[in-house]
Amino acid sequence: MIYLEGDVQVYSNIDDLFDFNDGYIYAPRQPWPEFLMWPTEFGTPKPSYYFNASMFVFEPGAPIFNDLLVLLNIITSIPLIPLDAQLHVLILLNKFFWKKLMGLPEHNYMALTMLQNHNESVDLNDVKVIHYCSPELRPWRFTPERVNVDVELVNKLKEKWLCICQDESLKPNKKQKSLEIKTEIKRSTGQEK
């Protein structure tokens, strides 16, 4: 399974990620933030890296689902510093997968904040997936005067984003989609002959 948050955009084929099915979770690895507490109730040391849950790849299954439910009960019973739900999920997933975390290959993922600190090392032609993690850098609300970033690079991304959004070939054919849905309903209810 490949999970992508809503502020992540795929710019080229990532089918190679489906080959990562060896029991590990593949995700962007980032240094553990100082403000994010690691509950002592976990009985394990705080990991030096955490995975950014904006994009990850893993093979789901019933045992993982059941183990996550058990861990969810533990986490919700621990009094943590006030956090939003997204941070609670981040802690949950990192606790669950911390021994199985593998970093994604660099060309598969780039947090757009890289442009703020390391734009000299960024080649947009090599990056397959971009995470618009900083709201002011998102193409639909980019305001160059508010950020310390290479405006030319972000404008190139905005052009790519608009091109994809306006591409008629990527929009679903309503008649074809309706036929596919009807066929699937018949198949699942045993009405297809």
Domain check: are 83 and 14 in the same one? yes
What is the domain count for the chain?
A: 2
In a domain, 8, yes or no: yes
Domain check: are 91 and 160 in the same one? no
pLDDT tens figures, 68-114: 888 777 767 766 555 566 676 777 778 788 788 888 887 788 887 77
Domain check: are 98 and 111 in the same one? no
Q: What is the pTM for the complete model shown? A: 0.71
pLDDT tens figures, 131-159: 887 777 777 777 767 666 667 777 888 88
Domain check: are 91 and 114 in the same one? no
In angstroms, what CA-CA distances link 52 with 126, 167, 187? 20, 30, 38
Domain check: are 95 and 118 in the same one? no
CA angle, residues 104, 107, 109, in degrees to nearest 5: 60
pLDDT tens figures, 162-190: 888 888 877 776 666 667 777 777 777 77
Residues of the domain holding 121: 106-169
Domain check: are 15 and 90 in the same one? yes
Closest C-alpha to 48, from 5, 88, 103: 103
Domain check: are 7 and 41 in the same one? yes
In a domain, 182, yes or no: no
* Number of helices followed by number of strands (H, E) in the chain: 5, 9
